[in-house]
Structure 1
Amino acid sequence: MDTREFDLYSILAVTHRLPSGALQFRTILAHITRRELAAMPGAGVSALTVGAECRAWLLKQHPQLREIPFPPDFDGDEAAMDAWADEQAARLGVDRLPVSPLPEGTELRTSLGDLLDVIARARDGLDDVAVIDPGAPDFGLATPDQDHPQEDR
């Protein structure tokens, strides 16, 4: 798989957790991880298992994305989400960016054990009951660096 252009909205869904459709989110992750779309797990599991690596890879390819602030809570307002994404496109001067896949041989966390490790790390262990948000792209289990893209330079 070669470099492919993606709309900025899809990219911001990965880098800034901009709410997006599950298919849109899984499509860009599948490209980055060199997987067939049908082999990608659901959006929430994908966000937890490969989301951090894909986010870091996108920020490495396009450091200018670090200048974009974390999006506000849109409270489900899709028009506001689109308007915010359009503002960021105007800020960057582009509405599409080339995205190359992760380098061959990049190891990704994909097993059930890996998923449990991600959850344990996000929740400081597995001894407590975690309340998840099935509507959030990462089930509401994001790690702090995912909440503030500008801070992990």
Structure 2
Amino acid sequence: MNPQALYKISYGLYVVASMKDGRFNAQIANTVFQVTSQPVKVAVCINKQNLTHEFIEHSGLFSVSILKKETPMKFIGTFGFRSGRDIDKFEGVNYITGKKGTPIVVDNSVAYIEAEVVNSLDVGSHTLFVGEVIDAEIFDDGEVMTYDYYHSIKKGKTPKTATVYFEQK
């Protein structure tokens, strides 16, 4: 099997955030998609080892901030390669809180979605959380960051907890 074939599936780059006991956490994710239109539902796939997973399970809420094409690598690194167990990822980051209090990252985002978990599916190393959309807004009409652009132009790396990670042999 050539796992590189799976890289041909189109992905975006997002900040998925949640909360627990008055604390916020967020991470970079590439697996976010709309699953229904009536009612509007989206799904996110989150590694069980990530703190964001724990926060989503606890609160039953998540937000998705859709990143701009120009998002700096340092910003992506903070949310994608650092743990919320070690740092406050929201320090120095512009954010708002959604209708249910979910943190929503404004910096480097073109739009956001806030959702309440209505179902989840254990898919092995990850959980697929399905959320009914509570709110969604557009910040600006800029181009969105694709996972392909992140890899091919920005030369970004894939963390071990990502849905698309394959160990190099």
Smaller-chain TM-score bracket: under 0.3
The TM-score with structure 2 as length reference comes to: 0.25
Please identify which structure carries the higher strand content: 2
The TM-score with structure 1 as length reference comes to: 0.27
Q: Which of structures 1 and 2 has the larger relative contact order (alpha carbons within 8 angstroms, sep 6+)?
A: 1
Please identify which structure carries the higher helix content: 1
